[in-house]
Amino acid sequence: MNPRIVVTGLLLALFAILPLLTQAVGQPYLLSVGTRVVIWTIAAVSLNMILGYGGLVSFGHAAFFGIGGYAVGILAAEGVQSGWLQWPVALLASAAWAAAVGALSLRTRGVYFLMITLAFAQLVYYLSSGLEAYGGDDGLNISRSRFTGLIDLRDKAAFYWLCFAALAATLWFCSRLANSRFGLVLRGARSNELRMTALGFPVFRYRLAAFTMSGALGGLSGILLANEGAYVSPAMMSWMKSGDLIVIVVLGGIGALFGPLYGAIVFFAVEEFLKPLLDLLHKGWGEYWQIVFGPLLVVIALYARGGIDSLLGRRHG
């Protein structure tokens, strides 16, 4: 049997019952790590949509964490508690921002595209720092979105399952998208833009649509992240978070459907467990976990171009 199917199936099964497992072993803390892995995977999947399928390295994806999160946070601070209102507004705001940024940045390529997306993300970052009414640099404590009678987001297991359902839906959508007419245009343009234009495809429009969808999906992860910690702050969208998202996508395998999941698991596992492990070896070494993580990335970049996904055998389609 294909090792990819086995590994992915096991991982998904494990994640599907994670709240039961963490309860069984008496480690509720692990559930919150698992929740963050799931939310970050959604964000990484959304980045993979433009980076993997589109070949466009956006260095400002954490902005969508912030826009989704702040939309929820600001509405909550203004007394709008209903998730039915908060979430659509947050998704629309993320999509609108993505459309505006995409309309400008997609006229450039390569490093210029990267710099422009970074610049726009920094713009949002500093804007949020300046929002004194909503906590400024310190961020904003919020109460979680209310879906009265349906689900209580304060219940950690219920919230986890909501995130997992969102991830499952996201992965399903992306698996369809990859081989849809739209997906093939996007991937064709990554392969050879000039050729796609010569076939009669208005490449820019398709990329803009992909960028906008990706932004909305990134916004969803921001909504979830805000509800996970009941807190939003400018730190959610620092450029380092954008970098972490790229690292997760590259680590998992650029353009691989489940790559972001593998990448996020390894990224968080390293962050959570390498620190204590190094501290165990020698007190204080935990601070420097990235000294181990960095070379690991270099090895992946050098020897496993397709990331973790490529270790699971050849990919089809």
Partner 1 sequence: MAEVLLSTDRLVKRFGGLLATDTVSIEVRAGEIHALIGPNGAGKTTLLGQLTGHLTPDSGHIHFAGRDVSRLPAHARVRLGLGRSFQITSVLREFTALDNVALAVQAHAGHSFRFLGDARRDPALRDPARRGLEAVGLGPRADLPASALSHGEQRQLEIAMALAGVPRVLLLDEPMAGMGAEESQLLVGFLRGLKQRCGMLLIEHDMDAVFALADRITVLVYGRVLATGTPEDIRGNPEVRQAYLGEAA
Q: Which is nearer to partner 1, 200 or 284 (CB)?
A: 200
Q: Which is nearer to partner 1, 201 or 285 (CB)?
A: 201
Task: Give the span between the Cα atoms of 124 and 193, in whole angstroms.
Answer: 30
- CB of 217: closest distance to partner 1 in angstroms? 13
- CB of 306: closest distance to partner 1 in angstroms? 13
- CB of 174: closest distance to partner 1 in angstroms? 10
- CB of 294: closest distance to partner 1 in angstroms? 30
Q: Which is nearer to partner 1, 196 or 251 (CB)?
A: 196
Q: What is the dihedral of CA 174, 240, 118, 189, to 10 degrees?
A: -30
Site residues, partner 1 (CB under 8 A):
173, 176-177, 179-185, 187-188, 191-192, 194-203, 206, 209, 317
Residue 160: partners with Cβ closer than 8 Å, 6 or more residues away: 18, 19, 31, 34, 35, 38
Residue 78: partners with Cβ closer than 8 Å, 6 or more residues away: none
Q: Which is nearer to partner 1, 148 or 192 (CB)?
A: 192
What is the DSSP-derived secondary structure letter of residue 232?
Answer: E
Q: Which is nearer to partner 1, 75 or 189 (CB)?
A: 189
Cα–Cα distances in Å, from 4 out to 24, 205, 257?
28, 34, 11
Q: Which is nearer to partner 1, 191 or 284 (CB)?
A: 191
- Cβ neighbours of 303 (radius 10 Å): 9
The two tokens of residue 219 are 């916004």
- CB of 27: closest distance to partner 1 in angstroms? 39
The two tokens of residue 162 are 């909501």
Note the Cα 198 to chain centre separation in Å. Answer: 34
The two tokens of residue 164 are 């997992």
Task: Give the span between the Cα atoms of 89 and 67, in whole angstroms.
Answer: 10
Q: Which is nearer to partner 1, 154 or 195 (CB)?
A: 195
- CB of 230: closest distance to partner 1 in angstroms? 34
- CB of 3: closest distance to partner 1 in angstroms? 23
Q: Which is nearer to partner 1, 182 or 285 (CB)?
A: 182
- CB of 181: closest distance to partner 1 in angstroms? 4
Task: Give the span between the Cα atoms of 250 and 52, in whole angstroms.
Answer: 9
Alpha helices in the chain (DSSP H): 3-16, 18-24, 28-48, 62-77, 83-105, 110-129, 156-178, 181-191, 193-199, 203-229, 239-252, 259-269, 275-281, 289-303, 307-311
